[in-house]
Structure 1
Amino acid sequence: MTERAAPRPPRPEEPAELSVEDAEDALLEGDRTFAPGTARAALAYPTFRTVYIGSLLSNIGSWMQNVVLGAFALDLTGSSTYVSWIAFAQLGPLLLFSLAGGALADIIDRKRLLVMVSWQQLLFSLVLAWLARGSDPSLSGLVLVTFVIGVGQAVYAPTYSALLPLLVRRQDLPGAVSLNSASMNLSRVVGPAIGALVYARVGASWVFVGNAVTYLFIIGALQLVRLPPATPRAAGEPTGLRRIGEGIQVARRDRVVGRCLATMALFSFFCLPFVVHIQRLAADSFGIAPRSGAFGVLYACFGLGAVIGALSIGTFLAGRSLEVIVRIGLGGFAVSLCAFGLLRDPAPAYPVALIVGFCYFATVTSLSTVLQNRLDDRVRGRVMALWIMAFGGTVPIGGLIAGPIIDTTSVTVVVLVGAATAALLVPFADLRDPPGHTPTLADQQG
């Protein structure tokens, strides 16, 4: 007979319904227990499990649309400049509006806000499908509607990130963040594959309709569960524009929070442009045509490595020091990316791409978990907005700057700069508190 673990005390911000659902799990699953911080432990929470599955299915639709939209833009115009405008319309709002989205996440009921922006993105995806149905769609209209969908994502992303830690106990947060990162990367592999097939058979418009339908999964999941409300605003807390800027103040006051965000921003800007230009890298370095099956396998290897790297934090690396994993991951990324940039034979490029992806998302998932563990719920949405900006908003800017450099020199130069930057970030990414410092809520409250 297996000995049952003693009940764990809830953390202060844990909602009452989690305790009820944990009791339900105990009845359903008997004396099964899971190691704290693992992916299995996170999936044992019914609320997290429901929201996670809905989010995964919705993300697959989003990546169907994201990838096909770029290909559709290129087929329409043959212009890389127009494709760049479409890409900025998709991701630029993450840089421009995430701070406002994070502020909303801290004052509005997060469930209601997530449902509202999901409906907004669903409706405008249908508008995008309607625009794309003709033989000569409005180019400016496509950019505008894509931008509006991106604005919705700029509100959704920090709100969802702020909600995630409240669905599990703090000790199980690494598993939850690991699964969320794996979901993001799995959708990047599955979504484009489905989208490309649908695009080839019935056209872009039906891909966009399919994406609209997938929003119903996250909307339905959110409607099925009870979620913790936003923490009430304390007396004297800033309002208006000062509230939006509070996340920046937290990053300035708390050294670990600031170092997590700075590391992610520098990593995204200098190290990740190769992802934007991976087609050029495959063609110039390995002789792999971007529209070939070989390129699909190369990108799948990179994506699979990212999925394994994300899951590693909640599985075989669970319980290890995340601060140490961040620095080892950066070092491994620097070495593997350097090798990836110098290779000229396609055969070893596939396993090296997998290693690059693994180091990439083991590092990012560890950074995100350290950050989430550090935050007080009163400021979580605003600080996670900065994370979304650092993680997603700076990549397209780095990619735009890298384009002319690649045209003037070579894609290898950009890749090697990224590898060198990752190596320099190893000593910078020191996520420990200064000696003698004990973190308090005063680090995050003015």
Structure 2
Amino acid sequence: MTDSRSRRRGSRALSYRNYRLFLSGAIVSNSGVWVQMIALAFVIEDLTGKGTWVGLAAMMQTLPAVGLGMVGGALADRFPRRIMLMFTNSSQALVALGFAAMWFSGVDRPLAYIALGVVNGCVNGIQLPAWQAFVSELVPRKALLNAVTLNSAQFNASRAVGPAVGGLVLAFGGPGWAFLVNSLSYMPAVLALALIRVPRLAAGTDGRPNLFTDAVAAVRYTASHAGIRRAVLIAGVIAFLGQPIIHLVVIFAQDVFRVGELKYGILAAASGVGAVLNTPLVISWGSRAPRSLLVGLAWPVYGLALLGFALSPNYWLAVVALAVVGASHIVTASTLNTVIQLQVTEELRGKVLALYLMTLLAGLPLGAQLQGALADLIGPRIAVGGAGALLAATALWWVLSGRTRVLNLG
């Protein structure tokens, strides 16, 4: 009977048609994003042979989203989020077609690919706050925790599926076909959004968004709520020290382990596989265990697993270490997102989530640029291993000092 209740809790959000549509479209489109991500990293590394360029490409794809994040949050609180998401998904499909056209036409300048990546980052900055906030419109509050966890699970499932598919496409078709696969992957997402029918939870605001006022409101609200404030800070630290490995895997694949496209895809998929394997445990325990306990266990393991990956003497041990990284990541990501979703008021949901996402989106590319440059100077093992050690030490200090307890509020 207990197992039956646990299964019902684990699938609560899936009992709602709108959420099922959203989740099915999301996993296909996000898998395509990962296909494109590893293809673009492969192109940049192949054209330049430099970790600094790989880090630069990651930074230039992501930083525009930081600058436009508050715009996206303000728009998400003023206009129908479903319509916004249909527009942004369609736009990203066109960007992917642009990447494919560049490759097939023989463009071999890395700056050209980086420039189109900037365009993609701009669209992503508008989309992400609406994407996160839209979840609250699809399920009632009693199912929100489960919906957020499943949303994190689908994102991490795409991290498993996308790179594996990308590795196969790179091996047998090349980057151009990988970009085309991503473009086609947006079609199910747009169709699913077209079929969803939801009432708006927050009334729209007439007039043009005042970005300064919106940013100040989001910062003040976040600063005055300890649980949200700590969740944002922790997410930023993890993004800066831990998540850059997403982009730097290609350096380990080609320069450390010296494997081909297929094994590169497997290595890139490993963290997603670990996240998927750990998802049932997160769903089962996520609504019962204190959120401070979940983060307090997963965060230090995240850093230690990253250190283990950097020091792995062979390829397959590195795959296992990245799987542990992914398993830890889904715990921290879904828990921190849930803290914010449960503690924020609906009227500020889009803007506060935008601030949270801007922190993530700033930390990841800056960390990737720094670690990529250090990889060129002192070697990728030392650069990434040092980041993992610092991440674990920071986590232990926060946990032992009791700073994570406020995550249980709300």
Shared fold (TM-score, shorter chain, > 0.5): yes
Indicate the larger mover: 394-403 or 416-425: 416-425
Letter in 1 for 2:87: M
Whole-Å Cα distance in 2 between the matches of residues 362 and 277 of structure 1?
Answer: 22
- Greater helix percent: which structure? 2
Matched residue SS, 1:277? helix
Aligned to 1:416: 389
Match of 2:221 in 1: 250
Change (3 A) 1:260 1:37: farther
- CA gap of 1:433–1:139, structure 2 versus 1, over 3 A, is closer
Match of 1:27 in 2: none
Q: State percent identity of aligned pairs.
A: 26
AA partner of residue 325 (structure 1): L
The one-letter code matched in structure 1 to 2:58 is A
Q: 1:122 aligns with which of 70, 93, 103?
A: 93
Corresponding position of 1:26:
none
* d(CA) in 1 for partners of 2:38, 2:166: 8
User: Following the alignment from structure 1 to structure 2, what is the Cα–Cα distance between the partners of residues 278 and 253?
Assistant: 38
Distance 1:348 1:251, change over 3 A: same
Give 1:60's aligned residue.
Answer: 31
Secondary structure in 2 aligned to 1:211? helix
CA RMSD of aligned residues (A): 3.1
The code of the aligned residue for 2:394 comes to: T
- The alpha-carbon deviation at position 242 of structure 1 amounts to 0.7
Which has the higher mean CA deviation after the structures are superposed, 245-254 or 417-426?
A: 417-426
Gap change, CA 1:283 and 1:60, over 3 Å in 2 = closer
Out of 289-298 and 349-358, give the one that drifted further.
289-298
**Contact conserved, 2:294 with 2:335, CA < 8 A, in 1?**
yes
Question: 2:363 maps to which residue?
Answer: 394
- Partners of 1:186 and 1:304 within 8 A in 2: yes
Alignment counterpart, residue 306 of structure 1, candidates 269, 275, 278: 275
| Structure 2: segments with no counterpart, 5+ residues | none
Counterpart Cα distance in 2 of 1:292 and 1:147: 25
Q: Which has the larger radius of gyration?
A: 1
Partners of 2:407 and 2:162 lie apart in 1 by: 40
Residues 290-342 of structure 1, C-alpha deviation per residue, up to 9 Å, x if partnerless?
43766655544432222233443223544222232111222333444444455
Matches within 5 A, 1:287-302: 288-291=257-260, 296-302=265-271
The alignment partner of 1:379 has SS state of helix
The Cα shift of 1:57 comes to 0.7
How far apart are residue 161 of structure 1 and its match? Answer: 0.1
The question of whether the paired residues in 2 share the 8 Å contact of 1:306 and 1:358 is answered with: yes
Q: Give yes or no for contact 1:178–1:311 (8 Å, CA) kept in 2.
A: no
Cα deviation, residue 80, structure 1: 4.2
Specify the alignment match of 1:200 in structure 2.
171
Higher relative contact order (CA 8 A, sep 6+): 2
Residue correspondences, number: 403
Change (3 A) 1:428 1:264: farther
Deviations 1:361-414 (A, max 9, x none): 212211111111111111111111122122333112012112343423723333
1:110 shift after superposition: 0.7
Deviates more, 1:224-233 or 1:288-297: 288-297
**TM-score where L is the length of structure 1:** 0.80
- The change in CA–CA distance for 1:122 and 1:258 in structure 2 (over 3 A counts) is same
Is 1:432–2:406 an aligned residue pair?
yes
Q: Does the aligned pair in 2 maintain the 1:271–1:417 contact within 8 Å?
A: no
1:90-134 deviation line (CA, Å, top 9, x unaligned) = 222232221211111111111111111112112222222222221
Judging changes above 3 Å, is the alpha-carbon distance between structure 1 residues 247 and 413 closer, same or farther for their aligned structure 2 residues?
Answer: same
2:283 aligned counterpart, secondary structure? coil
Deviates more, 1:314-323 or 1:394-403: 314-323
Structure 1 residues 143 and 270: CA distance shift in structure 2, 3 A: closer
Write the distance in 2 (CA, Å) between the matches of 1:373 and 1:304: 28
Q: Which residue of 1 aligns with 2:374?
A: 405
Between the aligned partners of 2:45 and 2:324, the Cα distance in structure 1 is 31
Aligned to 2:57: 86
Q: CA deviation at 1:261?
A: 0.4
Structure 1 residues 34, 113: CA separation in 2 closer, same or farther (over 3 Å shift)? farther
How far did 1:78 drift? Answer: 3.8
Alpha-carbon distance change, 35 to 415 in structure 1, aligned in 2, over 3 angstroms = closer
- Please list the CA deviations of residues 204-253 of structure 1 after superposition, one character each: whole Å capped at 9, or x if unmatched: 22322221221111110011011232612579x98442123321121111
Please tell me the residue identity of whatever aligns with 2:64.
Answer: P
Distance 1:146 1:282, change over 3 A: closer
Question: Does 2:182 match 1:211?
Answer: yes
In 2 relative to 1, CA 203–350 (structure 1 residues): closer, same or farther, beyond 3 Å?
A: closer
Please give the alpha-carbon distance, in whole angstroms, between the structure 2 residues aligned to 1:171 and 1:249.
27
Q: CA deviation at 1:75?
A: 2.8
Within 2, Cα distance between the matches of 1:253 and 1:44? 35
Q: Would the alpha carbon gap of residues 35 and 116 (structure 1) be closer, same or farther in structure 2, given more than 3 Å must change?
A: same
Distance 1:86 1:247 in 2: 29
Report the AA paired with residue 18 of structure 2. Answer: T
Task: Point out the more displaced range, 169-178 or 299-308.
Answer: 299-308
Quick one: which of 234, 238, 255 aligns to 1:263? 234
Is 1:176–2:147 an aligned residue pair?
Answer: yes
Asked whether the equivalents of residues 330 and 425 of structure 1 are also in contact (C-alpha less than 8 Å), the reply is no
Counterpart position of 1:231:
202
Supply the distance in 2 between the matched residues of 1:204 and 1:348 (Cα, whole angstroms).
27
When the two structures are superposed, what TM-score results if normalisation uses the length of structure 2?
0.87
2:338 is the counterpart of 1:360:
no
Determine if contact 1:263/1:429 at 8 Å carries over to the other structure. Answer: no
Structure 1 unaligned blocks of 5 or more: 3-32, 440-446
Q: Secondary structure at the match of 2:284?
A: coil
Moved more, 246-255 or 348-357: 348-357
Query: Contact (CA 8 Å) 2:171, 2:262: kept in 1 or not?
Result: no
Alignment check: 8 A CA contact 2:236 2:359 kept? yes
Judge conservation of contact 2:168–2:265 (CA < 8 Å) in 1: no
In structure 2, the partner of 1:374 is 343
* Cα 1:295–1:259 shift into 2, 3 Å: same
Of 117-126 and 39-48, the range deviating more from structure 2: 117-126
Q: Is the 8 A contact 2:55 2:371 kept in 1?
A: no
